[in-house]
Amino acid sequence: MKRHLLLLLVFLTAIQPLRADEGMWLPALISQRIADMQAKGFKLSAEDVYSVNQASLKDAVVLFGSGCTGELVSDEGLLFTNHHCGYSYIQRHSSVDHDYLKDGFWAMNRNEELPNPGLTVSFLERMEDVTSAVLKGYGPSMSEAQRDSVVRANSAALTKAATADGKGLRASVEALYYGNQYFLFVFRVYRDVRLVGAPPSSIGKFGGDTDNWMWPRHTGDFSIFRIYADKDNNPADYSADNVPYRPKKSFKISRAGVKEGDFTFVYGCPGSTKEYAMSEDVRYVSEVSDPQKIALRTLRLDNMKKHMGESPAVRIQYSSKAASVSNAWKKWQGEAKGIDKNDVVNVKRDYERRFSEWAKGTRYDGLVEKLGELFARRNPYYLAYEYYTETARTIELLSFASSLRNAYPDADAVHSVAESFFKDYYQPIDEENFVAVMDAFDKKMPDEFKPAWFKDKLAELGSIEALRDYVFKGSLLTDKAGVMALTADDKDKVAVDPALEMYDAFYRWYYDELRPVINGVNSEISLAYRDYMQGQMDFEKDKAFYPDANLTLRVAYGHVEGYSPADGVYYYPVSTLKGIIEKDNPDIFDYDIPQKLRDIYAEGGYESQPVCFLATNHTSGGNSGSPVINADGNLIGINFDRVWEGTMSDIVFDPEICRNISLDIRYLLFCIDRIGNASYLFDEMNFAD
């Protein structure tokens, strides 16, 4: 009996660390995690996940654009990502006549695929630890600024050497663990990427901003693209002669489905996390920054929503803009709440007390106090900077004025900047936003944190409304015909435009007054954080540390699991078409599904058609579009979101409630076939079962 108990105890302690699925691991070091992954059900080897010598899963994963992930699903360059990742491209092809956002888009053959200038996908060729090369020539007596220039010079030499083949290679050196380690990443960047298919927004964005960051979720958040290459399979600019890219590896699709407990592996590019931040850094986020930015964005969102509700044309123009304003706005709310609920600031303070105790007499002695002081010094300036980015920087006319100046006097460039600006510009929204956010800036910022220009103009003109008129009525740039008629001789008129005057006044204030202080403190913070990071690793010798996200490729593994968002409530991890029909409401824009979907459902037999599922993978912004892979290495879903109660996972991962949300691949297949009538695409896909 005793022996059994002992065995049980050994067993329990052995599986203990397996519970938490926290972590986003570097693929090149996956051999350190593979035993744990296999213990949890994964059947492939480390070499299958990442290899530079043979085709591996990494060759089927791309950085899509500059902030999403995508995966290859055929030998002919076919790629899946999220609808919200393809959104701005789908929008650019849309007008009131061809509203692909509203109606969806399906190329019925390759000639109908739509090119997307500016869109790239990047394949990781290799990653490697270059710490000693990056720090060559650095000595401990150097200042942080000197260290920076050593790092910069060495990195430039490394990236130059790494991209020598010239065939679309891009390389960057990224700091990991706050610069305790450096990795070189080499990518091959393809730039002819065409739109193949997208469901109507009433599927791809079903639930809209209301369901965003929430479970239960029923969004068919996918879009389909194809990568083209020159005849040698190398990157090339768009050309009708290009041919579909032939990947080294593409995913097989599994239709076997998921159930609670199944192993899941998300392979993608999380953007930014700070899991090792100190308490004061976190307190600033949850108590100061998040609430203030939320309030500022609420003002803009209210204006946009009002006008979008009144006009379908404005809805198209502002759909992408509103979605991106709303996305972080909602995330910050969940994040601040989660940090508060988990008492993260106090938990961190407690940790710091233990750390400081341990650090006595070591080189880490006093480090926590020092960091605290640095944040106290930085925060008022940083808040002013954040106000700047959420107020003056969000006025569309001002940014347009600046882009126009950069394009001037090249007439073609001026015309193209103006075309793309006016296509999606609705001046009443911009003017109302101006009044709302500049008024908030005036009321919330202490006088010493306002540009002198702003204070003087306001004193002279008397009100924010008068300032708005000064800028908008006085500007030449609100009138498209006028802008198109500008010639090189109008240089002086453009230079004194009030929109530019305001843009410059704020920019100079940021550049001359805020930036030097923030950068100065930040470089001290970087140094202290680098030590603190190393200190934490020394303090907790037995813990496996993963580097904070920085848009480099990562592996996050976990399993399908529901969660309890509140006392007495449990959320199951799988949603179905039945739930879509329950939410369907023709009177609410976000829940008005296509009639076709209603008709299909009415045929019967689709109640349990899977739509989305939850899992415990540690993901972040940038992981959208990432392949969700099963124990056999096959594609079962596309990651697209996290649950609201768990969005603080960028700062602290709570295994009880942090969940990623994925589209079930079977819903994507259903939509291609039944909604898009594009089942011809199945011919090039490889199915595992």
Residue 470's H or E segment, with its range, is: helix 464-474
Out of ligand ARG, ligand ASP, none, what residue 622 binds, judged by CB under 5 to 8 A for its kind, is: ligand ASP
Out of ligand ARG, ligand ASP, none, what residue 654 binds, judged by CB under 5 to 8 A for its kind, is: none
Please state, in angstroms and rounded to a whole number, the distance separating the CA atoms of residues 176 and 126.
16
x/- map, 163-202, ligand ARG, by CB under 6 A: ----------------------------------------
- Measured between alpha carbons, how far apart are the two ends of the chain, in Å? 45
Look at the block and give the residue holding tokens 């199945």: 682
Compute CA distances 310 → 305, 590, 625, whole Å.
Answer: 9, 15, 32
Please give the residue whose beta carbon sits closest to ligand ASP in the complex: 624
Helix, strand or coil, per DSSP, at residue 153: helix
Q: From the CB of 322, what's the least distance to ligand ARG, in Å?
A: 8
Q: Of 201 and 624, which has the nearer Cβ to ligand ASP?
A: 624
Instruction: Indicate whether 90 belongs to the interface with ligand ARG (CB under 6 A).
Output: no
C-alpha Rg value of the chain to the nearest Å: 26
Instruction: Indicate whether 206 belongs to the interface with ligand ARG (CB under 6 A).
Output: no
By CB atoms closer than 10 A (0-12, 13-18, 19+), residue 542 is exposed
Out of ligand ASP, ligand ARG, none, what residue 326 binds, judged by CB under 5 to 8 A for its kind, is: ligand ARG
Tokens found for residue 536: 């934490």
x/- map, 34-73, ligand ARG, by CB under 6 A: ----------------------------------------
Please state, in angstroms and rounded to a whole number, the distance separating the CA atoms of residues 408 and 414.
6
Q: Catalytic: 415?
A: no
| Neighbouring residues of 132: CB distance < 8 A, sequence distance ≥ 6 | none
Out of ligand ASP, ligand ARG, none, what residue 279 binds, judged by CB under 5 to 8 A for its kind, is: none
Q: Of 475 and 575, which has the nearer Cβ to ligand ASP?
A: 575
Q: From the CB of 582, what's the least distance to ligand ARG, in Å?
A: 19
Out of ligand ARG, ligand ASP, none, what residue 424 binds, judged by CB under 5 to 8 A for its kind, is: none
Residue 436: other Cβ atoms inside 10 A: 18
Q: Which long-range contacts (CB under 8 A, 24 or more apart) does 480-485 make?
A: 480/418, 480/422, 483/404, 483/414, 483/418, 483/422, 484/414, 484/415, 484/418
Instruction: Indicate whether 326 belongs to the interface with ligand ARG (CB under 6 A).
Output: yes
Instruction: Indicate whether 641 belongs to the interface with ligand ARG (CB under 6 A).
Output: yes
Instruction: Indicate whether 84 belongs to the interface with ligand ARG (CB under 6 A).
Output: yes
Binding site for ligand ASP (CB under 6 A): 68, 619-624, 640-642
CA angle 240, 246, 249 (to 5 degrees): 150
Using the CB atoms, write b or e for 305-314: b if 16+ within 10 Å: bebbeeeeeb
Strand partners of residue 263: 559
Q: Catalytic: 279?
A: no
Q: From the CB of 549, what's the least distance to ligand ASP, in Å?
A: 10
Q: Of these, 279, 478, 624, 630, which contacts ligand ARG (CB under 6 A)?
A: 624
How many binding residues for ligand ARG (CB under 6 A)?
A: 13
Specify whether the CB–CB gap between 220 and 204 falls below 8 A. yes
Q: Catalytic: 232?
A: no
Q: Of these, 27, 208, 268, 625, which contacts ligand ARG (CB under 6 A)?
A: 208
Out of ligand ASP, ligand ARG, none, what residue 394 binds, judged by CB under 5 to 8 A for its kind, is: none
Q: Of 70 and 621, which has the nearer Cβ to ligand ARG?
A: 621
Catalytic residue (one of 286, 624, 626, 662):
624
Q: Of these, 162, 323, 483, 499, which contacts ligand ARG (CB under 6 A)?
A: 323
Catalytic residue (one of 99, 221, 497, 641):
221
Instruction: Indicate whether 209 belongs to the interface with ligand ARG (CB under 6 A).
Output: yes
Strand partners of residue 605: none
Piece of 209-217, 236-244, 561-569, 570-578 that binds ligand ARG (CB under 6 A): 209-217
Please state, in angstroms and rounded to a whole number, the distance separating the CA atoms of residues 668 and 80.
10
Tokens found for residue 171: 């390389």
Q: From the CB of 619, what's the least distance to ligand ASP, in Å?
A: 5
Alpha-helical runs (H) found in 424-556? 427-444, 452-461, 464-474, 480-484, 491-495, 498-509, 515-539
Q: From the CB of 92, what's the least distance to ligand ASP, in Å?
A: 19
Instruction: Indicate whether 320 belongs to the interface with ligand ARG (CB under 6 A).
Output: no
Please state, in angstroms and rounded to a whole number, the distance separating the CA atoms of residues 266 and 619.
8
Please state, in angstroms and rounded to a whole number, the distance separating the CA atoms of residues 555 and 3.
38
Piece of 296-304, 319-327, 386-394, 673-681 that binds ligand ARG (CB under 6 A): 319-327
Residue 543: other Cβ atoms inside 10 A: 9
Helix, strand or coil, per DSSP, at residue 73: coil
Instruction: Indicate whether 621 belongs to the interface with ligand ARG (CB under 6 A).
Output: yes
Q: From the CB of 224, what's the least distance to ligand ASP, in Å?
A: 17
Out of ligand ARG, ligand ASP, none, what residue 620 binds, judged by CB under 5 to 8 A for its kind, is: ligand ASP
Q: Of 502 and 629, which has the nearer Cβ to ligand ASP?
A: 629
| Neighbouring residues of 649: CB distance < 8 A, sequence distance ≥ 6 | 273, 618, 619, 620, 642, 658
Specify whether the CB–CB gap between 119 and 193 falls below 8 A. yes
- Interaction with ligand ARG in 229-268: which residues (CB under 6 A)? none
Identify the CA nearest to 283 among candidates 385, 177, 375. Answer: 375
Out of ligand ASP, ligand ARG, none, what residue 212 binds, judged by CB under 5 to 8 A for its kind, is: ligand ARG
Beta strands in 560-665 (DSSP E): 574-576, 610-615, 627-629, 635-642, 660-664
Instruction: Indicate whether 212 belongs to the interface with ligand ARG (CB under 6 A).
Output: yes
Q: Of these, 206, 213, 318, 441, which contacts ligand ARG (CB under 6 A)?
A: 213
Please state, in angstroms and rounded to a whole number, the distance separating the CA atoms of residues 412 and 424.
19
The residues annotated as belonging to the active site are 84, 221, 624
By the criterion CB under 6 A, which residues form the site for ligand ARG? Answer: 84, 205, 208-209, 212-213, 323, 326-327, 621, 624, 640-641
